[in-house]
Amino acid sequence: MTGVLGNRAGGLRGYAAAALMVAASTLTGLVLAPRWGNSAVDLVYLPAVLGAAVLAGLGPSLVAAAASALAYNYFFTAPYHTFRIHSPADVVTVIILFLVAVVTSHLAASIRKQAELANAHAARNATIAGFARRLLSCTTEQEIADAGVDDLSVLFECNAVLLAGDAEPRPVAARPSSVRLTPSDLAAAAVVIATGQSAGRGVTKVTTVEWQLHPIRSGSNVIAAIGLARDDGMPPVTADQLPLLQSLLDQLALALERARLEAGARDFAALRERDRLRSVLLSTISDDIGPPVAAIGGAVRELKRAGSSDKETVSSIGSEVAKLQRYLENLLDLGADSDRKPLQAAGITIDLFHRSVFRDGKEVHLTPKEYAVLAELAKHPGRVLPHDHLLRAAWGPAQEGQTEYLRVAIRALRQKLERDPKQPALILNEPAVGYRLAPHLS
């Protein structure tokens, strides 16, 4: 209601300003006419029309054009102080003045509208850029969620909450933090995440939900939902604000995906570092401890053959040495040869040690690249491996950006291994992230 009243007040001010400018032009004409005649007075009204168009828009400028023609007729054409015109030349002058004023008002109003649109686009782009910069400074998903709801709450002057989760969405961040959602609000959020369609106050005609809920998309997937609500019950986002909101939500989705990818990359780097340290440790054990233990075993055997020592003590030492050697062998089995045990599930057998793959007992022929991709997935069953990691493992660092190579290889693997390639159960896709091998492989 306040916005409507403000618009009306602004419109009335524009019309009043147009009337004042026409009045000022008339006074100027009355001053000029006795000295230079009435022929030059009609041009005095054009600045008033232009000013009304530039400052107030098309409506006030058209009023100024009509008022200028009437004022010129009333004050500067015979008979004076009437709206009658005796001279045909004066009739033509009034008509020309009105037409020129109308055309001029249209041109000036169009220029004003284009300037307003340019300013609006510039303000929108500045808002989006500022929002993106704020999100770029965040590193974790929680920081991004907090920054996102903070900025959206300020920009749209409303309460904001970000929800994540498919079956049971939960609030991740809210402003103010005291915001509480009802069961119907959470149910509506679940529908928005499931369907990808906005819902709530101001979006659907009939609703019991106080919040306006919008999906946050990453590609074709909905990863979260944003809820907006005003304390006065009015819709928080109007129709003309929806494009701006959608652009901001796209930036928020990109930031959330970036944080997830970075978290996955950090986890994978930690895993690789752990594997490297384990390999170094096992190699150290083999090189540093293995020879001394073998020497002790050899000395025990020499003592047994000599027969000069206590047989019970020598036998006990020999038993402990043999046990220690078995422990060392078990530790070494945890190293690079730990992939000797084939992975099996649903009739599929992946034997990394012998570099072979079987389906229902029959060996499946794979190209070197297909096998390289499958082997890398099989080394980490259940773990999502990013596209660039799989490309680096199979094609080398120079091809990390060739995602199409990976898609072709995955498609071929599914054709050869899956029961139903259209509904894969072995090689699963994580949209916008990578692929993973089904975790039930063991």
CA–CA separation, 380 and 275 (whole Å): 12
Q: How many beta carbons lie within 10 A of that of residue 243, not counting itself?
A: 10
Q: What is the pLDDT along the chain (442 residues), one digit of tens a residue?
A: 334 334 444 568 878 888 888 888 888 888 887 777 766 676 777 787 777 777 777 778 778 778 877 887 788 777 877 777 666 766 666 676 677 667 776 776 777 778 777 776 777 778 888 888 888 888 888 999 999 999 999 888 899 999 988 778 889 999 988 888 888 888 888 888 888 888 888 777 656 788 989 999 888 888 899 999 988 888 888 888 888 888 999 999 999 888 888 888 888 888 788 877 777 776 676 667 767 777 787 787 777 777 767 777 877 887 787 777 666 666 665 554 444 577 777 688 888 777 788 988 889 999 988 988 988 888 878 888 888 888 888 887 777 788 899 999 999 999 998 888 888 888 888 887 889 888 665 5
Domain count, the chain: 4
Q: Shortest CA distance to 432 belongs to which of 220, 123, 269, 255?
A: 220
Whether residue 327 lies inside any domain: the answer is: yes
**Whether residue 310 sits in one domain with residue 288:** yes
**Whether residue 244 sits in one domain with residue 156:** yes
Whether residue 17 lies inside any domain: the answer is: yes
Helices marked H in 196-233: none
Whether residue 154 lies inside any domain: the answer is: yes
Q: What pTM was estimated for this model as a whole?
A: 0.49
Which pair of structure tokens corresponds to residue 420? 């139903």
The domain of 247 spans 141-262
Helix (H, G, I), strand (E, B) or coil at 413: helix
Q: How many beta carbons lie within 10 A of that of residue 220, not counting itself?
A: 8
Q: How many beta carbons lie within 10 A of that of residue 329, not counting itself?
A: 11
**Whether residue 307 sits in one domain with residue 200:** no
**Whether residue 52 sits in one domain with residue 9:** yes
**Whether residue 361 sits in one domain with residue 288:** no
Q: Which of 207, 239, 262 is the last residue before a domain boundary? A: 262
> Any idea what the CATH number is for the domain that residue 160 is in?
3.30.450.40
**Whether residue 297 sits in one domain with residue 371:** no
Q: Shortest CA distance to 93 belongs to which of 107, 109, 75, 105?
A: 75
**Whether residue 325 sits in one domain with residue 349:** no
Whether residue 329 lies inside any domain: the answer is: yes
> Any idea what the CATH number is for the domain that residue 367 is in?
1.10.10.10
Whether residue 33 lies inside any domain: the answer is: yes
Output the 3-class SS for 13-28: HHHHHHHHHHHHHHHH
CA–CA separation, 376 and 160 (whole Å): 43
Whether residue 136 lies inside any domain: the answer is: no
**Whether residue 274 sits in one domain with residue 245:** no
**Whether residue 369 sits in one domain with residue 254:** no
**Whether residue 166 sits in one domain with residue 234:** yes
Whether residue 442 lies inside any domain: the answer is: no
**Whether residue 104 sits in one domain with residue 87:** yes
Whether residue 81 lies inside any domain: the answer is: yes
Q: Which of 262, 288, 312 is the last residue before a domain boundary? A: 262
Whether 84 and 70 have beta carbons less than 8 Å apart is answered as: no
Q: Is the Cα torsion angle 419, 423, 428, 433 positive or negative in sign?
A: positive
**Whether residue 411 sits in one domain with residue 319:** no
Q: Which of 338, 364, 395 is the last residue before a domain boundary? A: 338
Q: How far apart are the first and last CA of the chain?
A: 65
Which residues partner with 228 through β-bridges? 160, 212
Helix (H, G, I), strand (E, B) or coil at 362: strand
